[in-house]
């Protein structure tokens, strides 16, 4: 499964409880509709925008990291379009995190194989004596 990051901005005039429900709704959509595994939800809170969007100078930022096979990401796009409280959104494939994960797994595998070889050599030396 591939690693993705989706960032979205919710209008700041939406009540806090409703903003929390929107974030939970995105998380639930990812898990139930797309079969994704949500790994991290990072709420940044209300921040100043780089530029004015509509009548807003600030927005509630959220970043979600998830694993998915990539199918159905267009459905996620439509989910954001249907809900008028989302101002902006973007989803990225995080190849850098995938490479880092593969590199760590490869290093772990090499360490395990070298430790097994060391144990086998130690056992064969004991038999010789």
pLDDT higher than threshold 80 for residue 114? no
Percent of the chain at pLDDT > 90 equals 64
Distance between CA atoms of residues 50 and 112, nearest Å: 48
What's the distance, CA 61 to chain centroid? 15
- As a whole number, mean pLDDT of residues 7-19 equals 97
Provide CATH code, domain 2-93: 3.30.70.60
Angle between helices 16-32 and 73-82 (to 10 degrees): 160
User: Is the model's pLDDT at 112 over the cut of 90?
Assistant: no
CB 11 within 8 A of CB 59: yes
The mean pLDDT of the chain is 88
Write out pLDDT tens, residues 43-80. Answer: 999 999 999 999 999 999 999 999 998 888 999 999 99
Q: Is the pLDDT of residue 126 over 80?
A: no
pLDDT in the model for residue 5 = 94
């Amino acid at each position: 499964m591939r690693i993705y990051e989706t960032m979205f901005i919710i209008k700041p005039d939406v009540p806090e409880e409703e903003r929390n429900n929107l974030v939970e709704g995105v998380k639930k959509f990812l898990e139930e509709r797309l079969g994704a595994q949500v790994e991290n939800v990072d709420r940044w809170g209300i921040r100043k925008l780089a530029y004015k969007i509509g009548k807003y100078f600030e927005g509630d930022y959220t970043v979600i990291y998830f694993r998915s096979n990539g199918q159905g990401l267009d459905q996620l796009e439509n989910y954001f379009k249907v809900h008028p409280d989302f101002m902006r959104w973007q989803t990225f494939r995080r190849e850098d995190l995938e490479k880092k994960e593969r590199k760590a797994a490869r290093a772990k595998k090499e360490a395990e194989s070298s430790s097994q070889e060391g144990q086998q050599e130690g056992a064969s030396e004991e038999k010789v004596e």
